[in-house]
Amino acid sequence: DKRANLFTEISGGTSTQLLQRDIKQAIDDPKVDSILLDIDSPGRAVDGTKELADFIVASRGQKPIIAFANGLMASAAYWIGSAADRVMANDTAIVGSIGVALTHYDRSEQDAKLGVKRTMIYAGKYKWIASDEKPLSEEGQEYLQGIVDEYYSIFVKAVADNRGADVEQVLEQMADGREFIGKQALKAGLVDDIAHFETALAMTREKGRFMN
């Protein structure tokens, strides 16, 4: 999540804002030789994801950055992880789920049962074309599909750029929404190595020493 800062304090999750801040601090800190992103996340939110991933890509070359799928690196979390210099995963990690989903809720029957009648007042043809007080129209579905398709194309292009692959390769092997386990992710090109966390940590330290 972009601003899940309270959630961080409660359960150890993190927001993209805090993660970007922490990565920048590590890059600027002369005592830090390299960075390991320990990722265990289903992803979810789009907002903030591209900004963080772009920041990681722009930081390449300053210090080694390795991403490790420690259980789950899916959807937006994979977008972020793919931005690292190298992506690693344990052999049971779930990686991928490259795709975009959007839900439309039709609350018209619920409103009818409750005796609620909503009158939508708006300006602009598409402002309420997919609102929840009525069933989704064909035109409304086409509009929402266009939004999903646009986000999907941005996501796929980013993964292709981050992984040094062609868009066609990403579409054929990685980006049909599937989740890949361990060596499946390696075969598909989503990760570079299958290893335990301790190995990923050791490699990160070694790369940092080698650069310095």
Active-site amino acid positions: 75, 127
CA distance 1 to 22: 15
Question: End-to-end distance of the chain based on CA atoms, in angstroms?
Answer: 34
Instruction: Give the residue carrying structure tokens 């509009």.
Output: 143
Task: Label residue 99 exposed, middle or buried (CB < 10 Å: 0-12, 13-18, 19+).
Answer: middle
Helices (H), the chain: 5-11, 16-28, 49-59, 76-81, 108-114, 138-163, 167-173, 183-188, 197-211
CB 122 within 8 A of CB 98: no
Residue 206 in tokens: 């070694």
The backbone torsions φ and ψ at residue 196, rounded to the nearest 5 degrees and listed phi first, read: -80, 165
CB 89 within 8 A of CB 104: no
Residue 175 in tokens: 């980006």
